[in-house]
A and B are shown apart, each in its own frame.
Chain A
Amino acid sequence: MGTSLSWPRRLLRVRAAKPLIFLLCLLPFAGLFWRGWTNNLGPNPEQTVIWTTGLWALRLLLITLAVTPLRKLTGWAELARFRRMFGLFVFFYALLHFTAWLGLVNGFSIDMAARDIVKHPFVLAGMTALLLMTPLALTSTNGMIKRLGARRWQALHRLVYVVGAVAVFHFWWGKLAKNNTASPTVYAVILAVLLGLRLRWAWRAAQARRASLQGERAADDQGKSRSLA
């Protein structure tokens, strides 16, 4: 049975694959913790924590968004079962990123944080991304999928495309302050490819639907004229 499958697919099917990827996703956090424990977060630990957690939230978001295109392009159906875990890790790192900003920069002062959000589009974008991904994290369980119904659940989770755009904007806008937008541009291009592929597929599916509809109509017309004859 398994012999017909390619080695990546066989690997993805291994039982240990999921816990292994879980540990890999946890690695940036573990690294931060270890560096903190051993006093190795650098001269500005606050900045190290905020930048590292933000960057990994964004990286994992792109990985999450890459699962479906990769599955379609390679035919590796096994990829699908990792998607939820990647998505939840995005939320985990985004929440750490937010908490570090709220606690370390604003001393947990809601008043200061609110003023910052209202005044700076950069901060507002980050908050927006976090707020938009919260319902997605909360409805990620099988029970919630059942309760919402597959169609409504899917519609809701399309919000992740907006989260991607807002998150990349947040990163880009942040780096603009230092006139150093090279790396956000790379992330923007990757996001554009991932969303672009989806648009293309949606467009093709729509065309195919239209073609088959036209085909049916043509067949109908033919039938009608024949019966008139």
Chain B
Amino acid sequence: QALASRKNSALSTTQTPTPYKDITTYNNFYEFGTSKSDPSQNAGSLKTRPWTVVVEGEVNKPRTFGIDDLLKLAPMEERIYRHRCVEGWAMVVPWLGYSFSHLLKAVEPTGNAKYVEYITLLDPAEMPGQNDPILQWPYLEGLRMDEAMHPLTLLTFGLYGEVLPNQDGAPMRMVIPWKYGFKGGKSIVKIRLVEKQPITSWMRAVPQWYGFYSNVNPDVSPQNWSQANERLIGQGGAFGGLFSPRVPTQMFNGYGAQVASLYQGMNLTKFF
């Protein structure tokens, strides 16, 4: 299903996008299973219409949006972003959406709104992976208010000129290109503006390895492996590109010029 947009070249990388097939068959979306191929095989059970999104908390105008209202809230843009997974692989993805700030401004955050959390659908019938207590469901992620208001933070509805496939987070997800992919909550049904820093699903599951910020950082690797470099998916070549070299990971996934100022004076080793 096509989704009209105009390209935002200023906020797009010039790198070649990863093939559609890879973006839609190699997914981490535990709500549909833990293996990379599970989401594309199991996400057919998700019904994305009708769909509503509740926006509440520290706002002057709390509101429940229908998905069609959200699609029309601001002009749809195509933005080609780099996408870096905490597991050490990366893609280049032509997303469709608009800056999350448009939605936040529409509900008028109060002075107490310091953080925003966004919550995925909870429905084990449509999301069979939720029968497995591997994470605390529903999936919860969040941002600091200034991160959420940053123009790069994308409220995302589509991919490659079409509406999002279910396995990529339909009908609406978050994309924060300078953070690891898991910060981008998928199939969002609730957005809450809050005063205190949320405890995200991954922080709750393995606190020593997953912090709130999770900015892409080649020098900090609280997890099991080095984050110094990454495997770019979908390069092609002999043996499926097995022997093409990894590429060095960039600070803030290459978006440092736009976002580094958000973290001025912060110890990014401590606040990983």
Interface residues of chain A, those whose CB is within 8 Å of chain B, are 36-37, 39-47, 49, 104-105, 107, 112, 115-116, 119-120, 122-123, 173-174, 176-180
28 CB-based A-B contacts, threshold 8 Å: A37-B239, A39-B239, A41-B242, A42-B240, A43-B25, A43-B234, A44-B26, A44-B231, A46-B231, A47-B89, A104-B243, A104-B246, A105-B225, A105-B229, A112-B228, A115-B226, A119-B221, A119-B226, A122-B224, A122-B225, A174-B224, A177-B223, A177-B224, A179-B135, A179-B205, A179-B206, A180-B34, A180-B134
- Name the CB-closest residue of B to A174: B224
Q: Which of B89, B206, B240 contacts A39 (CB 8 A)?
A: B240
* Across-interface contacts of A119 in B (CB, < 8 A): 221, 226
Q: Is the interface of B mostly helix, strand, loop or mixed?
A: loop
A42-B26, A104-B246, A115-B226 known; A36+B206 contact, CB < 8 A: no
What is the interface size of chain B, counting residues whose CB is below 8 A from a CB of the partner? Answer: 33
Q: Is B36 an interface residue, CB under 8 A from the partner?
A: yes
Q: Which of B26, B209, B242 contacts A104 (CB 8 A)?
A: B242
A36-B239, A179-B134, A179-B135 known; A43+B225 contact, CB < 8 A: no
Complex-state Cα separation, A3 to B176, whole angstroms: 72
The 7 closest A-B pairs by CB, nearest first: A43-B26, A36-B239, A122-B224, A45-B240, A45-B242, A43-B22, A41-B240
Q: Is B17 an interface residue, CB under 8 A from the partner?
A: no
Number of A-B contacts (CB under 8 A): 79
Output the residue of A37, A40, A176 with the most chain B CB within 10 A: A176
Q: Is B233 an interface residue, CB under 8 A from the partner?
A: yes
Q: Is the interface of A mostly helix, strand, loop or mixed?
A: helix
Output the residue of B22, B221, B239 with the most chain A CB within 10 A: B239
- Name the CB-closest residue of B to A39: B240
Contact A112 B233, beta carbon cutoff 8 Å = no
Other than the given A104-B243, A116-B226, 11 more pairs (CB < 8 A) read A41-B240, A41-B242, A43-B234, A45-B241, A104-B246, A105-B88, A119-B221, A120-B223, A173-B224, A176-B206, A176-B224
